[in-house]
Amino acid sequence: MFAELIDRCIGSKIWVIMKGDKELVGTLRGFDVYVNMVLEDVTEYEITAEGRRITKLDQILLNGNNIAILVPGGSPDPE
């Protein structure tokens, strides 16, 4: 059932909260049985000692073991 919910998000924007201090927002292109994910047009938000660092990426492969929360269509607070 969980895989079916993620499958519905393919081609849509998704907010991925990782374990640690990293969040990503991008278009979900695919995933596997281990919830490893490929995102495109990605904005990465990382909390550092200096504040929040924002990085733009064309594509990224995420390790499913490091994913904490998935929010379909969501995005982090812009502040």
Q: Which CATH number does the domain housing residue 22 bear?
A: 2.30.30.100
Residue 78 inside a domain? The answer is: no
* pLDDT exceeds cutoff 60 at 79: no
Domain membership of residue 32 (yes or no) is: yes
The structure's pTM equals 0.87
Domains contained in the chain, number: 1
Asked if residue 46 is part of any domain, the answer here is yes
Secondary structure element (H or E) that encloses residue 7, with its range: helix 2-8
Q: What percent of the chain has pLDDT over 90?
A: 70
**Tokens at 49, concatenated:** 């000692």
Which H helix or E strand runs over 74? none
- Asked whether residue 49 is domain-assigned, the answer is yes
Find the domain containing 29 and state its range: 2-72
Over the chain, what is the mean pLDDT? Answer: 91
Q: Is residue 77 part of a domain?
A: no
The verdict on residue 36 lying in a domain is yes
